[in-house]
Amino acid sequence: MQIHVMAKLQGLVLDIQLLGEIAEFERYDCTVWTPDFVFMKFYVRYNNGLKGYAYGCPLIHGIASSELHLLKLHCKIGVAKGLLGEEEWCYHAISLPWQNEDDEDTDEDPLEEQERFEKSSEDFWFSLKKQQDIKPIRYTPSQNKLHFFLYQGCLIALYRHPHEKQNSWLTNAESFTIYSFLWSKEVLDTLLKEVQQVSIQRHRNKITIFRGFIKRDTVSWVPTKSKPPRSLSTLALPLEIKNGMLNDIEAFLSPKERAFYERRGMPYRRGYLLYGPPGTGKSSMCFAIAGRLWLDIYTVSLNSQKLNEDSLVSLFQSLPRRCIVLLEDVDNAGISQDAHRRMKDPGNTGRVENSRQENELDGAGISLSALLNCIDGVAAQEGRILIMTTNHLEKLDPALIREGRADKRYHFDFVDTMSAKQLFHAFFDKASLFVSSISAEREPNDRSTWEDSISQLSGQFADIVSLGQLTAAEINNYLMGFRDNPEMAVSNALDWVRGRREAPKPAAVAE
């Protein structure tokens, strides 16, 4: 007998396959695949006497390996003798919950570090070397053993299995089997819910960057890092870009706007194109906006050899409702377009029947038509914000950046006077860590005198560098060389700008 059903458990969608009648126990096996390659398998009571095997959909959010933290805490208390001490280097490349739990707590306060450094730089370097050599020892419930702990008065058992398929993308995966005695589904539900809550708490003040992961038949979004959001105020950009883009996205995400789209049956999506030379803040702006609106970022490399239309469709289909999809250097999608045109050239006998064939012909990356299908085809997720970036506006096919796909375009240009001032201020701001103790000693006691002097210098600096067609990244880099000496930064600026003028420029971006 084979029955296939979809079920919902604690908000997770499970694809359950009932395999047959159970002999001894009333239970079914349920396997939840989590986004970072760990799956959980748990046994719960199934009251009509059938045995089942369930697979969670691969993109369940909320229970990931890094979020099983709580289970580990309980295990620590419950079965100390089952724990296994391991040095960090024993572990695999992909981080597992047992491995990175304390990482956030070990970071020293930068000011204290600086104090130690100033006391004796030699001791400081030596202590860093020691820190690196002495691996933190962490305790984990050992694999292939049963661990018991009490949870809400109920005995729970946890079993960690390494994944048997070695040398595959699952090498670092493991599965967890959680048993509850005596088959209490409610306790398991509560436990898993608590795990989700712990996870939410841990990532509360961070945004997560997911990358499209493609390996053979497996396509999923994999969390690569979680980081505190970058403040928009750290970006030196014209207000029409900074506020303009933020306001536009905020307005789009508002419930009123969503209702407006729904009433008119319009697809509820918005796209942006950020273009300009490298180092002008396109990616930084995307991260800052994501942080401000608490949106996670989903990004995929369009020129990945493994990417084809099917995998891109799958990725787009599995996006959450509220998120930013970041496609960087989107002009790479045009590479396939060029090949496509060449193939269709009248002088060329080759015929391209469909986009899949087109991909095969190109051998690498995604074709333009496939990308367009994903952006606004039926598969495209509603509610998402698409941000495309490019250094080469002139290379983009007009179809990619027409309204509806890129509703707004923002030109990230070389630094103007206002932005140059802002960068200078940010660098020599008294509160900034860049200002070392040397300048602190020199600095006038009166705070306003210091600020006046920086203000005046920033004006002079801005007048010089704004003539030079320089990017914010270049200016930051230049200022790094003078972080103790704002006056020198200004007096050397003219020579630096002249030098840069003679150096080859990044390609200008055609409007």
Ligand X SMILES: Nc1ncnc2c1ncn2[C@@H]1O[C@H](COP(=O)(O)OP(=O)(O)OP(=O)(O)O)[C@@H](O)[C@H]1O
Chain residues in the site for ligand X (CB under 6 A): 235-237, 278-284, 389, 391, 412, 472-473, 476
CB of 287 to ligand X, least distance (A): 8
Q: Which is nearer to ligand X, 14 or 420 (CB)?
A: 420
Distance between terminal CA atoms of the chain?
64
Q: How far is it, in rounded angstroms, from Cα 486 to Cα 458?
A: 9
Which of residues 149 and 428 has its CB atom nearest to ligand X in the complex?
428
CB 467 to ligand X: min, Å: 18
Q: Whose Cβ is closer to ligand X: residue 184's or residue 284's?
A: 284
User: In the complex, what is the shortest distance from the CB of residue 454 to ligand X, in angstroms, rounded to a whole number?
Assistant: 17
Spatial CB neighbours of 408, under 8 Å, sequence gap ≥ 6: 244, 245, 248, 270, 271, 272, 273
**Cα distance between residue 158 and residue 176, in whole Å:** 7
Please give the Cα distance from 312 to 214 (Å, whole number).
Answer: 9
Do 424 and 476 form a contact (C-beta atoms < 8 A)?
Answer: no
CA distances from 265 to 259, 260, 315, 385, 386 (A): 10, 9, 24, 18, 20
- Least distance from ligand X to the Cβ atom of residue 476, Å: 6
Using DSSP, state whether 60 is helix, strand or coil.
coil
Q: Which CB atom, from 284 or from 318, has the smaller least distance to ligand X?
A: 284
Q: How far is the CB of 459 from ligand X (least distance, A)?
A: 18
Instruction: Return phi, psi of residue 221, to 5°.
Output: -90, 130
Report in angstroms the alpha-carbon separations of 293 from 38, 234, 404, 505.
Answer: 29, 16, 22, 35
Strands 297-299, 207-215: parallel, antiparallel or unpaired by DSSP?
Answer: parallel
For ligand X, the closer CB: 358 or 413: 413
Q: Which of 240, 238, 275 is nearest to 507 (CA)?
A: 275
Contact between residue 285 and residue 237 where contact means Cβ atoms under 8 Å apart? yes
Contact 275, 245 (CB under 8 A): no
CA gap 193, 249 in Å, rounded = 32
Nearer residue to ligand X within complex by CB, 237 or 435: 237
Q: How far is the CB of 253 from ligand X (least distance, A)?
A: 22
The residue among 58 and 276 lying less far from ligand X, judged by its C-beta, is 276
In whole angstroms, how close is the CB of 434 to ligand X at the nearest point?
13
Using the minimum distance from each CB to ligand X, give the nearer residue, 213 or 414: 414
Q: How far is the CB of 114 from ligand X (least distance, A)?
A: 21
As given in the structure block, the two tokens for residue 235 are 């970006």
State the DSSP code for 97. Answer: H
Closer of 238 and 320 to ligand X (Cβ): 238
The amino acid occupying position 475 is I
**Cα dist. 495→103, 244, 418, 483 in Å?**
44, 35, 21, 18
Q: Which of 51, 292 has the CB closer to ligand X?
A: 292
Q: Are 509 and 393 in contact (CB under 8 A)?
A: yes
Please identify, using beta-carbon distances, which residue of 317 and 476 lies nearer to ligand X. Answer: 476
Of the pair 455, 476, the CB lying nearest ligand X is at: 476
- The CB-nearest residue to ligand X is 281
Comparing CB distances to ligand X, the nearer of 236 and 493 is 236
Instruction: For residues 479 and 428, give the distance between their C-alpha atoms in angstroms, rounded to a whole number.
Output: 9
Shortest distance, CB of residue 81 to ligand X, whole angstroms?
49
Radius of gyration of the chain (CA): 28
Minimum distance, C-beta of residue 495 to ligand X, in the bound complex (Å): 22
Q: What is the three-state SS of 306-373?
A: CCCHHHHHHHHHCCCCCCEEEECCHHHHHHHHHHHHHHHCCCCCCCCCCHHHHHHHHCCCCCHHHHHH
Least Å distance between CB 304 and ligand X? 17
Rounded least distance, CB 506 to ligand X, Å: 9
277, two tokens? 């030379």
Shortest Å distance, C-beta 329 to ligand X: 7
